[in-house]
């Protein structure tokens, strides 16, 4: 058996376990609104891939639980499963509530990571339900501990600025971006999580964000549930770096909207992008290679 076949079999086995666990959770958290999936077509795509009906795996499986963990306040538990969970990769848990700050959300995530590392003994079998059960049993205690914390770090927690981090750059493509609400959300979220890059509104829409992976992934989870005709990550670039290298890895000075047009009009989202200027913009920021991922060609001359 070839290495490629072994890798494909491993991938399908992991995805099959993810789907089995997802259906089990659907039967347990079956009250209206308890288990929410942003796009069920992703579930269908993963199922088709597992059954050999398609060779294209478009997205990761992720879903959200809305649970009454606090009196009169619903708490969201967001779960994103990497393709090789269980076995090799670890799921990403994010706990959200209107009463928690972003820093407190990160502390919750760290406590969950610590629990998985220390208490989940068999990581070759699905364990999302085990983690959710632990969260339900310990949530009030965790909340009190976090609310009483005056700093983000302690002798028992991961430092706020670890020596190594994962740097990530996401290239996101959408059919169009005209909504001022979406545009404001994109700008606000990028700024809130210290991400650099750009957003090109109009048709098509192109968004690039770069920064720590934990923050770029929050950005993606924030904008993806918004109503889009089509939106997808065209390319993900990741690299393990020292924390003090973060700003050196950035190609863009902050985050801003880039209209990339020679026309200056108030109705900017209707102005077509000047493709030649866009190619020059990419080259200026050492990103000319992305034209292949977005448009399917390498050379600027092909679109003039």
Question: What pLDDT, in 10s, does the model give residues 68-96?
Answer: 887 766 788 989 888 889 988 888 888 88
pLDDT > 90 fraction of the chain, expressed in percent and rounded: 25
C-alpha–C-alpha distance, residues 155 and 58, integer Å: 41
The residues facing 95 across adjacent strands are 77
127 with 16, same domain? Answer: yes
Range of the domain at 141: 3-147
Instruction: Band the pLDDT of 268: cuts 50, 70, 90.
Output: low
Q: What is the pLDDT of residue 210?
A: 95
Q: Which of 299, 251, 293, 253 shows the shortest CA–CA distance to 275?
A: 299
Find the helix or strand (DSSP H, E) in which 232 lies: strand 231-242
Tell whether 143 is covered by a domain: yes
157-174 residues labelled b (16+ CB within 10 A) or e (exposed): ebeeeeeebebbbbbbbb
- Within-domain flag for 198: yes
Is 159 a domain residue?
no
pLDDT given for residue 300 in this prediction: 34
Residue 160 has pLDDT above 50, yes or no: no
> Are 171 and 43 found together in one domain?
no
Q: Contact, 251 vs 286, CB < 8 A?
A: yes
Does residue 99 sit in the same domain as residue 172? Answer: no
What is the number of domains present in the chain?
2
Please indicate, yes or no, whether residues 143 and 168 belong to a single structural domain of this protein: no
Round to whole Å and give the CA distance between 105 and 129: 20
pLDDT at 162: 54
Per the prediction, the chain carries an average pLDDT of 82
Q: Is there a domain that residue 236 lies in?
A: yes
Looking at the structure, tell me whether residues 141 and 181 fall in a common domain. Answer: no
Q: For 198-243, how does the pLDDT look when each residue is reduced to its tens digit (9 = 90+)?
A: 999 888 889 999 999 989 999 999 898 888 888 889 899 999 888 8
Side-chain-side CA neighbours of 136 within 13 Å: the count stands at 11
Sign for the CA dihedral angle at 278, 280, 281, 282 comes to positive
| Residue 24: predicted pLDDT | 95
Greatest Cα-to-Cα distance within the chain, rounded to the nearest angstrom: 62
Residues 134 and 196 grouped into a single domain: no
Please state the pTM of the whole predicted model. Answer: 0.52
CB 294 within 8 A of CB 171: yes
Task: Note whether residue 154 is domain-resident.
Answer: no
Q: What are the structure tokens assigned to 142, written together? A: 């965790």
Q: Which secondary structure element, helix H or strand E, spans residue 23, and what is its range? A: helix 3-28
**Do 104 and 207 belong to one domain?**
no
Judgement on whether residues 70 and 174 belong to the same structural domain of the protein: no
Is 158 a member of any domain? no
Of 81-90, 173-182, 234-243, 258-267, where does mean pLDDT reach its minimum? 258-267
208 membership: H or E segment, kind and range: strand 205-212
């Amino acid at each position: 058996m070839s290495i490629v076949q072994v890798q494909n079999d491993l991938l399908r086995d992991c995805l099959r376990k993810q789907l089995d666990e997802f259906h089990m959770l659907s039967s347990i958290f079956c009250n209206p609104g308890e288990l929410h999936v942003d796009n069920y077509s992703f579930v269908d795509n993963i199922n088709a891939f597992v059954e050999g009906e398609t060779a294209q795996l478009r997205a990761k499986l992720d879903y959200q639980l809305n649970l009454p963990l606090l009196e009169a306040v619903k708490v969201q538990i967001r779960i994103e499963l990497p393709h090789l969970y269980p076995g090799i990769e670890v799921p990403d848990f994010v706990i959200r509530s209107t009463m928690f700050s972003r820093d407190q959300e990160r502390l919750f995530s760290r406590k969950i990571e610590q629990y998985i590392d220390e208490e989940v003994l068999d990581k070759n079998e699905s364990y999302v339900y085990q983690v959710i059960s632990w969260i339900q049993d310990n949530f009030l205690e965790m909340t009190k501990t976090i609310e009483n914390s005056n700093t983000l770090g302690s002798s028992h927690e991961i430092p706020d600025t670890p020596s190594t981090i994962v740097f990530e750059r996401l290239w996101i493509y959408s059919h169009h971006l005209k909504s001022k609400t979406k545009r404001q959300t994109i700008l606000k979220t990028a700024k809130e999580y210290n991400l650099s890059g750009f957003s090109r509104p109009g048709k098509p829409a192109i968004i690039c964000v770069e920064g720590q992976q934990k923050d770029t992934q929050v950005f993606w989870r924030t904008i993806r549930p918004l109503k889009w005709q089509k939106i997808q990550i065209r390319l993900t670039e990741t690299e393990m770096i020292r924390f003090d290298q973060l700003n050196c890895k950035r190609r863009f000075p902050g985050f801003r909207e880039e209209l990339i047009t020679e026309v200056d009009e108030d109705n900017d989202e209707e102005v077509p992008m000047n493709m030649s200027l866009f190619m020059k913009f990419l080259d200026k920021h050492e990103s000319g290679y992305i034209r292949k991922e977005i448009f399917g060609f390498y050379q600027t001359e092909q679109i003039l």
